[in-house]
Amino acid sequence: MGSLEPDSETETGTGTETETETETETRTGTKTGTGTGSGTGTRTGTGTGSGTRAGTRAGTDNDGDNNNNSDSDNDGDSDSDSDSDSDNDNISDINNNIVVIGGGPAGLIAAEIAATAGRKVTLIEHMPSVGRKLLLAGRGGLNLTHSEPFDTFVTRYGAAAPALSGALHGFDPSALRAWCAGLGERTFVGTSGRVFPQSLRATPLLRAWLRRLDQLGVKTLVRHEWQGWNDDGSLMVHGPHGTRSLRPAATVLALGGASWPRTGSTAAWVPVLRGIDVEVTALQPANCGFVVAWSPEFAGRFAGVPLKNVRLSFAQHSTRGEAMITAGGIEGGAIYAIGAPLREAIAADGFADVIIDLHPDLSPAQLAERFARTRPSDSTSTRLRRVGLTPAAVALMRETGCAPDALKALRLRLVGSQPIDRAISTAGGIAWSEIDEQLMLRRRPGVFVAGEMLDWEAPTGGYLLQACFSTGVAAARGALMLER
Ligand SMILES: Cc1cc2nc3c(=O)[nH]c(=O)nc-3n(C[C@H](O)[C@H](O)[C@H](O)COP(=O)(O)OP(=O)(O)OC[C@H]3O[C@@H](n4cnc5c(N)ncnc54)[C@H](O)[C@@H]3O)c2cc1C
């Protein structure tokens, strides 16, 4: 049987932001209510439906699973035959349905919205099960969204904020929390303002969600890959029984970005869309680590050690939090937060110098005064530790040749970005000029797009999943309007 958990290999990747940040999260006791919603008008959360149609394959694959993490081989083939036989029987029914392609959070919520509105929905997924990246995100606590004021929240999407704000308004953070509560997964606000499910896991949420989709009659075809359009405009879908042409009433594409391709997000859609002249901004790693040319001694001793409570600055960007030293560089929430300008500078100049304040709680004068109070006969390292620096911070000063009086402005040279296949998210994607307000492709009427395949990026903090949910909802609403 397939598992709700992603491949074991994917468990061991970097994904450091979620792991390091949520480790330190504590609950403030701000829980969601009973799931009655925020009044944003979303039609999710009813969980009702006919329940009479063929069960979702992913749901039945996963529901019976024991969720044992060691049973994490989602690529196992044991369920393929039964899936594909029933798919073969029913695939001709798809014409005139709403077809959603891609079983990540954007696609799943689009399927739910359309099915809740009473439409027949078919969800197509090329992996053996849906929601694999969502499950991977669950490894780090599943930071679903953020509780900061909406006006501030929207700014986290930078240049894409104006284009995204309609979708974010239409299904906002409180709507997402209410939706979660409606699935039996209440949320809490951590000390940083980030929002998590109480279980800090994705598995219970996904399991309940798939059950709901099943009840709503959503038909899920796993191991079916969308490969583009035929000359007559029909969808070309390749499954275990060969390639079929489908002509749905409306299509939602929610195919994800390019990070962690083992979860299914392979970005094979990029040449397909470019082939019909849709502009796709180059996909690049976002929320990724950066390369530093550490000495072997430093890397050997400190790889895996966090720099806690540091301030990182680059140009006019500044952030405070935790960064993890790795064998090849640095990663973690603090560096991700200023990752976009760093990435751009490295692309332009070949390097970027990030400024690190190793003791942001003390002013330079306070630090100097504390340092002066330490014993001059002690080594500089010992004196620095006495003013509150960790051994890793002291070693970093030595590694970079930073003098003790410059510990609030240590200069660290980054010489590259980590590859996209280990990034948390993807920058770039379908250009906003290619879609209308309903997220419909101008060059392909009736085809809506959602999630990470759109051209936006945001730091970690729940902004990624929120935008995927919000655009999934918006795309489905667009598809429903088209059908009227
Ligand atoms: C390690 C890690 C931790 C993360 N933690 C967080 C977090 O805590 N908070 C947060 O907000 N975000 C987090 N994210 C990011 C978040 O998981 C993604 O932004 C989100 O999953 C993207 O959703 P999506 O639906 O757009 O795409 P995906 O989740 O990538 O789903 C796309 C789906 O489409 C399928 N597909 C692709 N091509 C085809 C095709 N041709 N035919 C059929 N199916 C296809 C894929 O198999 C996949 O199932 C994390 C990501 C990673 C890698």
**Domains of the chain, residue spans:** 8-283+422-483, 290-418
Q: Of all protein residues, whose CA lies closest to atom 1 belonging to ligand 1? A: 15
- Write the CA distances from 94 to 85, 97, 101, 122, integer angstroms: 15, 5, 12, 7
Which residue type, as a one-letter code, is found at position 449?
V
> What is residue 93's predicted lDDT score, i.e. its pLDDT?
65
> What is residue 404's predicted lDDT score, i.e. its pLDDT?
82
Per-residue pLDDT of the chain (484 residues; tens, 9 = 90+): 334 444 332 222 343 333 333 334 545 444 443 333 333 333 333 332 222 232 333 333 332 232 333 333 333 333 333 344 344 445 656 666 899 999 999 999 999 999 999 999 999 999 999 999 999 999 989 999 999 999 999 999 999 999 999 999 999 999 999 999 999 999 999 998 999 999 999 999 999 999 999 999 999 999 999 999 999 999 999 999 999 999 999 999 999 999 999 999 999 999 999 999 999 999 999 999 999 999 999 999 999 999 999 999 999 999 999 999 999 999 999 999 999 999 999 999 999 999 999 999 999 999 989 999 999 999 999 999 999 999 999 999 999 998 888 889 999 999 999 999 999 999 999 999 999 999 999 999 999 999 999 999 999 999 999 999 999 999 999 999 985 5
- Which atom number of ligand 1 is nearest to the Cα of residue 472? 25
Rg of the Cα atoms in the chain: 24
Which residues does a 6 A CB cutoff place in the pocket of ligand 1?
15, 18, 101-107, 124-127, 130, 132-134, 136-137, 140, 142-143, 225-226, 254-256, 259-260, 264-266, 268-269, 424-425, 451-452, 462, 464-465, 468
> What is residue 61's predicted lDDT score, i.e. its pLDDT?
32
Cα(257) to centroid of ligand 1, in Å?
7
Cα(100) to centroid of ligand 1, in Å?
15
**460 and 17 Cβ atoms separated by less than 8 Å:** yes
**Which residues are paired to 146 by β-bridges?**
194
Q: Of all protein residues, whose CA lies closest to atom 7 belonging to ligand 1? A: 143
Q: Of all protein residues, whose CA lies closest to atom 19 belonging to ligand 1? A: 464
> What is residue 482's predicted lDDT score, i.e. its pLDDT?
84
Q: Of all protein residues, whose CA lies closest to atom 26 belonging to ligand 1? A: 451
> What is residue 484's predicted lDDT score, i.e. its pLDDT?
54
Domains 8-283+422-483 and 290-418 share a fold: no
Cα(9) to centroid of ligand 1, in Å?
16
Cα(388) to centroid of ligand 1, in Å?
40
User: What gap in Å lies between CA 446 and CA 234, rounded to an integer?
Assistant: 11
Mutate to test the pocket of ligand 1, among 464, 470, 471, 473 (most ligand atoms within 8 A of CB): 464
Cα(175) to centroid of ligand 1, in Å?
20
> What is residue 3's predicted lDDT score, i.e. its pLDDT?
41
Condensed to tens digits (0 to 9), the pLDDT of residues 166-178 reads: 999 999 999 999 9
What class is the 290-418 domain? mainly beta
> What is residue 466's predicted lDDT score, i.e. its pLDDT?
98
With CA atoms as reference, report the closest residue to 194 among 145, 236, 154.
145
> What is residue 17's predicted lDDT score, i.e. its pLDDT?
37
Cα(132) to centroid of ligand 1, in Å?
7
The pTM assigned to this predicted structure is 0.84
Cα(194) to centroid of ligand 1, in Å?
19
Cα(426) to centroid of ligand 1, in Å?
10
- Which single residue is written with the structure tokens 């330490």? 374
Cα(254) to centroid of ligand 1, in Å?
9
Helix pair 463-483, 161-170: axis angle to 10 deg: 70
- Which atom number of ligand 1 is nearest to the Cα of residue 127? 47
User: What gap in Å lies between CA 126 and CA 239, rounded to an integer?
Assistant: 8
**Which residues are paired to 453 by β-bridges?**
none
How many CB atoms lie under 10 A from the CB of residue 392? 20
Q: What CATH architecture applies to the domain 8-283+422-483?
A: 3-Layer(bba) Sandwich (3.50)
Mutate to test the pocket of ligand 1, among 265, 287, 455 (most ligand atoms within 8 A of CB): 265
